[in-house]
Structure formats: structure tokens, C-alpha cells
Structure 1
Amino acid sequence: MLQYFLRRLAAIIPTVFFVTVIIFGLQQLLPGDAASVLAGENQDPEVIAYLQKKMHLDEPLPMRYAYWISGVFHGDLGESMRIQQPVLGLIKEKLPVTLQLAAMAMVIALLIGIPAGIVSAVGKDSAWDYLANVIALWGLSTPNFWLGILMILVFSVQLGWLPASGYVSPFEDLGANLAAMIMPAFVLGNAIAAVLMRHTRSAMLQVLNADYVRTARAKGLNERRVVLKHALRNALTPIITLGALEFGTLLSGAVLTEQVFSIPGFGKLIVDAVFNRDYAVVQGVVLFTSSVYILLNLLADLAYFVVNPRLRG
């Protein structure tokens, strides 16, 4: 397993390097001048010159990249020019919010998507199969922002059961926190559940027709044991990868959903940073989320190794 891990790690290192180059390069293509934006309406030339020097905007592009990547290696992602705070501190502040939202959305997606996919595959062409496919199609085709607005209208405005927006720390009031987060988590989890259902159904249909499944049934094993122990375990391989990728997508910031529900996570942070030309924040947040995405892929590969015995040979 150690050799497998080292091989995967060796493949990740150049990937991370190219990611840093792409993040930095694309950031420079944004229209406008960050120093002019931060200087305000007066556009004082001395202020602009000071900001350009402080942000190294008056130096060649390779030198600016060298300054930035050197700071990254030392744990310094820069400082927000707009609010004068370290980017790493902003990430630490917003991470728990987005992490909780992503975790709740993923739990909802797993609780809906995988059981629905199993039931759909086991009862292929039955009423349950058609119902599961209709629900999955609805989940895939429903825009998150529209579903969020609809849920606010029903559960907040008309019924008054849940708050329409805002965020409360779980350390302050756990009940209020869950009440504020359940709707955005369901909105995000709904779409992922549909994707998980389709992939689970497809994987289970392939596995249920395998020889070892027919052999297990021929031995007289209970159908539930055949499905859950023999079939599902071997069908989990593509689902693990999909789950890791979707969780990484959630962590990268569900921008529209966070905007609709006024959740102060990565989505709002990155949108504000782009509009204010806050280069350090944009680069820091995108680098962090990209690194998490790559790490989740690595963890998915390791989970492959555990679930699939053929990789150990």
C-alpha cells in the first residue's frame, strides 16, 4: 500500500505545480487594475504607485509569481488589500461554515442517492425504478438557486418553520445553526443525490449480473446479504470517486446557494474578492480549494485500494 501511495503522491506534485501556475496566470487576465480599484474614486497617483509597489504589480510577471509561490511555501498566502487581513486567517474563518454546509449536503445526498440507486437497480423496470429515475431527473434539472428561493417561500415565508437566511455558529446555538443550514444543505444535497443515484444504479446493474453474484444466490444466501455485502461492496468503486469529487466541489464554494441564503462561506468570500480585485484572496482561496480537491482524489484512490482487492495484487 505504501508503494501505491507514493506513486499517487508523485503524480500529484506536478499537478499541484501546474495548478499554481494556472491560478496565478488566469488571475492576471482579469480586466482592470487592482491598485486603481483599491485606490478609490480619487485615483491619487501616489497611492496607486504605493499599492503597485506593495503588491509587486510594477515587476515582471515571473517575479510576481516567484514572490507569491515563495510565500505559499512558507505558509503565507498574502494579505487582503481591501480589509487588511491575512488570507490564511480569512480561510480559517470561512472554512468551518463551508465545511459544515458541505458535510450536511453530502450526508443528505448519500442518504437519498445510494439507497435509491440500490432499490432502482434491484427492482429494474419496476414502479420503484421509474419513480427513482423521475426523482433523479428532477434533481439534475432543477437549478439550485430556483429551488432555494422556492424553499424560502414555502418554509420561511408561508409556513414560518425555518429562517430565510443568515448563519448562526453551532457553538452559540446548535438548534438555530441547524435550522439555518438545513435548507441550503438540502438544496446542494438534492442535486448530488440525483447524480449518486444514477451512478449507483448503473454500477449495481453491472455487478448484479456478475458470475459471483449468481453463485452467491445459487448457494442459497439471503437476497439482502447478496445485494449489500457482495454486490454493493464491488459497486462502490466508482461511487467513492464520485463522492470525493462532489465533496470537493462543495468545498470549493457553492456560490449561488450561499448567496441566496446569505451563508458567509467560501462562495461569498471569493465573489467579493473578484469584484474588488483582491488578488491575494482570490489566489489563496482558489489554491486552497484546488489543493483540497486534489487531496480528496488521493483519498479516493486509497479507498479504492482498500475496497478493491485486485489493486493489492
Structure 2
Amino acid sequence: MQYTRFCLRVEHLPPCSMADSNTSQFTNPSTFILLGIPGLEWAHVWIAIPFCTMYVITILGNFTILFIVKTEPSLHEPMYYFLCMLAVTDLVLSTSTLPTILSNFWFNSKEIDFSACLAQLYFVHSVALIESGILVAMALDRYVAICHPLRHSTILDNALVAKIGLAMVLRGAILILPFPILARQWLYCRTNIIPYTHCEHMDVVNLACTDIHVSRNYGLFVLLCGDTLDMFLIAVSYILILRAVYKLPTKDARLKTFGTCTSHVCVILAFYTPSLFGSLTTRFGLNIPLHVYVLFANIYLLVPPMINPIIYGVRTRQIRDRLLRLVTLKGT
């Protein structure tokens, strides 16, 4: 495939010179070219192996969680309903990107249609925002279970759980909708080459040669109204939980009660740490090597969906016991 000479307009790369821009001008592209991990092209085939392994584990683990909760009546509770929502979002988030990445790395299939690229960035960001909302809902469940245990079943009944789930889906779908709509309006006259493994919002709009402050500001607004607000609500929930836990009479009771939250805390850390790192480095252009940024930014697409079912499978006794029974039955 013949690539035209280009210069990328991204904050963490050197600015384009006038000579470079004059040699690579063209109208809006029908396709984008995904470079994968710039500087590590020689290792793409090998990097794809752990990526594929994590994807397989993600599919098996999350489908196992869905199957166990569906077939075990004792798990038909708000906590496990939210866990099922988390499993579905993890599956969608991984499947919306990993096939593109593996196709690029193994078959050198770098081209992606302009509309498909916008659709991919919409799914990546909307599903990630939905997952963030589900983590807030799970924090609410833990707060009610610990601070109001006798009213847990009446406060969080099935109807409210369904409404919370629907609200999180609508929030993610509606808030992210302007991303592809705005991105389609910009003029991409310098290059159609994206130094990334898949299409994400800022990596696409940073290639535009027009003023993109509307997209940039709206992206910051979504970050504040999405992850930042969600982390604040989760922090408030756990402050109230810790207050209730430390009022318990014995140390064993405090450890046992807070132990019901450890799985959720681990999932929160696994999700928000790489997500915030990717968002902030893209917007503020922190001085890190591009291949390190791309590798780290892919972590939130690969690692949380893979480890979430493992964390809950290991840390949640009901799921662990049910899984052991399934394995035992198959072994006999």
C-alpha cells in the first residue's frame, strides 16, 4: 500500500511545517489509515498474541458471569444484576475495537472507512461512559447494603435497578452522540493517517486542519460530567460506607463488612486509572513517547474487561461456589 507523505497535527508530535502541509493536501478522506503502535510495527505480530489472549479471556469470563447469574436464583439481586450490566459493557467495549486491532496487527489491514471510524469512536466512548455509570450504581448498591441493610431489598427493587440501568445507557448514548456529529463537520486536508490502534475522539479530530475548539471543549465537558462526576459520587458513597463501617463494634465485623466492597474497589481502580491517563495525555500533550502512550491507552480496552470477571469470580463467594459446582459436575 502506497502512503502519501504526511505530517500529523497532534499535540505530542512536532508541528507541521508549511512545506509539509503543501505536499499532502487533499479533501476529506473516505478512509483513515490506522498505524497501530508507531515505532513498534516490527512487533505487531507478537503484541497481537497477548492482545488476542486477553480478548478470549474477556469473552469466556464475562459470558461465564452472565451464565452463572442467570442460572443461579440466589444471585438474582441488585448487586449481580449490575454485575451482569458490567459484563455486557465489557464485551461490547472489547468487541468494538479488538477485531480492528488484531486485523491490523496480523493481516496488515490498516484502512478503516471514515463512517466506520466515527461509529467505532462513538461505541468506544459511549460504552465506556455507560460502564462508568454502572460502577456508580454498584457503589450505590454497596452503600444501601451496608448503611441501610434492612431496607436494601425495598430501596433497590428490580424496577429501580432497571431504571438505573436504562438511565446509564441513555446518558452514555446521548452525551457521546455529538462526538461523531462534530467530527464529521471538520475539514481533514492534511492527512488521513491516525497514529493509533483504533479510532478515538481526540485522535481523529486532532487531524483536522480547521478550528476544533468546539470538539475539544465538548470533550472536556463530557469528561467532567462523566468520569469526574462519577468518581466524585463513588468517593462520596465510600466516605459514607467507611463512616458506617467504623461505627461497627468489633474489628472483625468492620473487616467482614468492608470486605464486601473490595471487588468493587479493585474494578474501580482498574477502570479509571488508565481511562483518565489516556484522556488527560491526549488533551494536554504530556511529554511521553508515542508508543508508550498508545500501549498504555489500550490498557483500559483490554485489562478491565478481562480482570473484572476474574476479580468477582475470586472475591465473591456465591459466584466462586457456583463456578466450582459447575466445574465439578463437568469433571464427573
Please, what TM-score do these two structures have when normalized by structure 1? 0.29
Higher Cα radius of gyration: 1
